[in-house]
Structure 1
Amino acid sequence: MDRNRGTSEPAELNDLLGDWSSAGGPLYRRLTDAFVRAVRSGDLRPGDRLPPERPLADALAVSRATVVAAYDALRGSGLVETTRGSGTRVARGAAAHRTPPDGRVPGGQATAVIQRLLTQPPDVISLGQAAEAGGPDLGRALLDLVREGLRELLRDAGYHPAGLPALRAAIADHHGAHGLPTTPDQVVVTTGATQAVILAARLLLGRGATAVVESPGWPGCLDVLRATGSRLVGVGLDSDGMEIDRFAAALAAHRPALLYVMPTFHNPTGTVMSAGRRRRVAELAAEHGVPILEDSAHAAALAPGQAPPAIAAHPAGGTVVTVGSLAKAVWGGLRIGWIRAPRGAVARLARLKALDDLGSPLLDQALAARLLPTLAAFAPDRERLRQERLATMARLLAEHLPEWRWQPPQGGSVLWIRLPAGTDARVYAQLALRYGAEVVPGATMDPTGAHDDHLRLPFSFVPDTAAALVGRLAAAWAALPR
């Protein structure tokens, strides 16, 4: 929404209305209710002009009659008014119709993904999550903790804002085995990787600052950076990672306060930044005095040597803050992440962590301390499972959606799908919801428009769920107006 003009473009309104089409009832009533929520929440404000019926219908993948009926219902309720020559606007008195908050997540590119985590309708398969169930190794470690370590753990007072010492030591050893010498006092344990990114962004960014990011990127992390009041500048990727010439140009043109990168198993492209590219990124950032926030949340499951050393391992002399997590390596329900940083930064990050929650749950940390040293041993089995799931998804796509194109990812558990030329993934996403599949379109990961014809497709589902998902996607694709 451009507040200076007071006019909403169809694509912007599509994002603002969220997943309205997955509700029950006639389409026009679902759309009407979505407009009512947007007005009552303040996302649409008095005087904002709504798009004409035909462009909005095209953006939402509905008939013009559906939009006309919704606008008529809104006019009947007094929420909008239509004036010849001026179009349809939110009524001046609409703000008086506000209701208490309805529990929906406000603002940001990741709104729909996060909202789905809160609502979790049983009949929708979400492409916003690339997660698997916990494995038997997790269960065994939990039983061992109960039998052998619980009594001693319960003698502890329970407050460790920077993290349980045993886990900080295990994380330091983990990084050391992967070519990044680390001591326990360089580690802060967090409640998942998202909190790690939040704390690092609070430390390194401020209102009005600029952050350079990879484009495309995961919207949940980009929203965290935006929440500091910072402006984001995107730099594209090639097969080796962030394009170095464009990164150098962004450094010169914008004088950023931070570089945020995901060098190992980039989300959503699956790219692994090459060792040479990591070195150049570290050198350029150090030369310009720009700290690096290195998100390695997808790398913990790797055995040593499976990926190049972290950017923080390059002796360029700059500040590098590295984020890790067990969510992808072990289980999404084990909300343990961490930050590896220079000692001075760790002290400040620990204070921020203490202000948030006084420390992550100790039982989870004790379990993580037992699991972390075993991850390398399970890496071959996890890779075999990943390849099997990838092969299953590739076969299903070739059979049911042969027009879709993608490059085999170097790692991770998602495909970066390119739709046929001229297809807007946002329009397709609205239609897919009606068939029970939540699609994350490229526009949420790159607001420049360069990836509007892309979508993110996890392949970590069990075979039966993968088959059901592709069936729903294919049915929505067949129904998409060309």
Structure 2
Amino acid sequence: MTVEVDRFRRECYRRGAELAGLLGDWTAGPGPLYRKLADALARAAEEGALRAGERLPAERELATALAVSRATVVGAYDELRARDVVERRQGSGTRVRRGRRPPRSDGRVRGGQAGRIFQRLIDGPGPLISLACAAEGGAGEVADALDEVAAHDIGALLGTHGYYPRGLPALREAIAEYHSARGLPTHPDEVLVTTGAHQALVLVAEVYLRRSATVVVESPSWPACLDVFRAQGAELVPVPLDGEGIDPRPLAAALAEHEPALLYVMPTYHNPTGLMTSEARRRRVVELAAKWDVPVLEDNAYAGRALAPDAVDLPPLAAYAPPEAEVVTVESLGKAVWGGLRVGWVRAPVELIERCARRKALADLGTPVIDQAVAARLVPRMGEISRRRAVDQRERFALLERLLRERLPEWTWRRPDGGSSLWVALPGESADVFAQLALRHGVEVIPGSAMDPTGAHDNHLRIPFTHPPEVLAEVVDRLARAWTELRRHGPRDVPRLHPIV
């Protein structure tokens, strides 16, 4: 009975948290909270994000998720009934009225947990400081490479048709040399250039996954990546991390029990924890995958983002794989050089590259060739670019740690090996609730529930240190004010959530 009650409470809380994420920055602007909440819910119904007949969370559920009083939600629901947006039926709760004309398009970004992150990129900057995107400006070398392409390459490029679905030959050669130098011998035929690492994940998922397939993933992981697999109809089986990477015992059990179509890991500066999977663990992961005949998809989007001055990235998992293992490596220039180039790649066996290339050709006929020519001149310099940029990275990281220790000494985290953010634990509080209070103080944070559906990290936040120092100082100041409000005034009745197994 206790398990069923816990399951019910957890589901109720989840519904409120999902709706809270859908509403976004609903507290902005003048007016009483109940009216702003009513406006946000009415807008969601008008745009189709809330469907006709859909049941809204109970007042207490939504109040808990939004960190407001129950009276605020009651007032908002009353306002919506007066506007004829919702109706209340005995025993059926509050529902969006049927008979409302569905919109042609709501204009908002879909995509599961990652949707609100991508929506923030579309909405653009504003008074709200968003911590949804852990990316920084481009390296100065990009301008140099552009000049070199204009001076030496543009004439030859214009003399071609410009379509390279597998990628510009010069870039594929540069990527092959880059991997070979890092301990993973690679031929250009084993490389496919993509429009960023995200497209690479999509193409690989399309090749491997069929509806109702299973993908074993790390827990936590990044929601935009998980949504790629969900979009293919896959079911996700989460496996926890320890201090060396994905935990081999539950991994072995998951591979044996579920016979997954794919194992997805981020071994080099895992997002969001910043963990570097150890060499011994890399060997163990590929051995287990080979034993159970499960292909491995490794996402090394944060390669080159070490924090320690003397740190050296380990070779990709594929470098440790036995001959019978199948390992697909995804990487990009997004984090190391500049996301604006939108150049990523897949390194895999030739047969898989051919399958991905056919899908790439159908998607866009090839990544823009000028961008590829610039990337071809940048890939050989990635080591020096990473070393130079690491100086600023370490300074911002040290500043964020110092500010958090000074202003929020109760918060804890494991020092990351690399990457772009801290994975912070809040003592005894729901990060979903805190995220709502942080919005009212002008900061958008991504709570742990978006990155781990098991509930094991519901008290975690990801805080990037990619912003300039003055912005980081303002971020911590706003977070500290939101934390003080939460600790002094509640709510305290957030259900403590535990995974149901």
CA contact (8 A) 2:269 2:305 kept: no
Q: Does 1:142 align with 2:146?
A: yes
CA shift, 1:386, in A, is 1.7
| Distance change (3 Å), C-alpha of 1:31 and 1:287 | same
2:94 to 78, 88, 92: 88
Q: Does 1:389 align with 2:396?
A: yes
> Map of 1:161-310 to 2, 5 A cutoff?
161-300=165-304, 306-310=312-316
CA contact (8 A) 2:400 2:472 kept: yes
CA shift, 1:86, in A, is 4.1
Q: Does 1:346 align with 2:353?
A: yes
Name the amino acid aligned to 1:459.
F
> Map of 1:395-410 to 2, 5 A cutoff?
395-410=402-417
Q: Does 1:333 align with 2:340?
A: yes
- How many Å separate the matches in 2 of 1:7 and 1:477? 21
- How many Å separate the matches in 1 of 2:139 and 2:96? 51
Name the amino acid aligned to 1:310.
P
- How many Å separate the matches in 2 of 1:249 and 1:21? 45
148-157 or 364-373: which moved more?
148-157
Which position in structure 2 is the counterpart of 1:157? Answer: 161
Which position in structure 1 is the counterpart of 2:105? Answer: 101
2:467 to 461, 466, 472: 461
CA contact (8 A) 1:300 1:324 kept: no
Which position in structure 1 is the counterpart of 2:44? Answer: 38
Which position in structure 1 is the counterpart of 2:123? Answer: 119
Which structure 1 segments of 5+ residues have no match?
none
Which structure 2 segments of 5+ residues have no match?
1-7, 491-501
- How many Å separate the matches in 1 of 2:473 and 2:370? 37
| Distance change (3 Å), C-alpha of 1:56 and 1:238 | same
Deviation digits for residues 157-184 of structure 1 (CA, Å, limit 9, x no counterpart): 1000000000000000000011000000
Deviation digits for residues 275-307 of structure 1 (CA, Å, limit 9, x no counterpart): 111111111111111111110111156799812
Which position in structure 2 is the counterpart of 1:479? Answer: 485
| Distance change (3 Å), C-alpha of 1:445 and 1:472 | same
- How many Å separate the matches in 2 of 1:347 and 1:305? 35
- How many Å separate the matches in 1 of 2:296 and 2:156? 38
| Distance change (3 Å), C-alpha of 1:304 and 1:476 | closer
| Distance change (3 Å), C-alpha of 1:260 and 1:315 | closer
- How many Å separate the matches in 1 of 2:282 and 2:36? 48
184-193 or 374-383: which moved more?
374-383
Name the amino acid aligned to 1:385.
D
Aligned residues between the structures: 476
Name the amino acid aligned to 1:176.
S
Superposition RMSD in Å: 2.1
Name the amino acid aligned to 1:129.
C
- How many Å separate the matches in 1 of 2:391 and 2:14? 47
Name the amino acid aligned to 1:329.
A
Name the amino acid aligned to 1:174.
Y
- How many Å separate the matches in 2 of 1:256 and 1:23? 48
- How many Å separate the matches in 1 of 2:371 and 2:392? 25
2:381 to 359, 374, 387: 374
CA shift, 1:428, in A, is 1.0
- How many Å separate the matches in 1 of 2:280 and 2:161? 46
- How many Å separate the matches in 1 of 2:437 and 2:342? 33
- How many Å separate the matches in 1 of 2:398 and 2:165? 43
- How many Å separate the matches in 2 of 1:22 and 1:196? 37
Deviation digits for residues 320-362 of structure 1 (CA, Å, limit 9, x no counterpart): 1110100111011111000001000011100000011000001
Name the amino acid aligned to 2:45.
V
CA shift, 1:20, in A, is 2.6
Deviation digits for residues 91-131 of structure 1 (CA, Å, limit 9, x no counterpart): 333xx233332311125011111110110242121111111
CA shift, 1:364, in A, is 0.5
Partner SS for 2:280: helix
Q: Does 1:53 align with 2:32?
A: no
Q: Does 1:439 align with 2:451?
A: no
Q: Does 1:71 align with 2:72?
A: no
- How many Å separate the matches in 2 of 1:152 and 1:410? 42
| Distance change (3 Å), C-alpha of 1:23 and 1:226 | farther
Partner SS for 1:468: helix
CA contact (8 A) 1:8 1:50 kept: no
Which position in structure 1 is the counterpart of 2:321? Answer: 315
2:331 to 312, 324, 349: 324
Partner SS for 1:9: helix
Partner SS for 2:113: coil
- How many Å separate the matches in 2 of 1:369 and 1:237? 35
CA contact (8 A) 1:178 1:305 kept: no
Partner SS for 2:395: helix
- How many Å separate the matches in 1 of 2:12 and 2:44? 15
CA shift, 1:7, in A, is 11
426-435 or 237-246: which moved more?
426-435
Name the amino acid aligned to 2:327.
V
| Distance change (3 Å), C-alpha of 1:191 and 1:356 | same
- How many Å separate the matches in 2 of 1:207 and 1:274? 33
CA contact (8 A) 1:301 1:376 kept: no
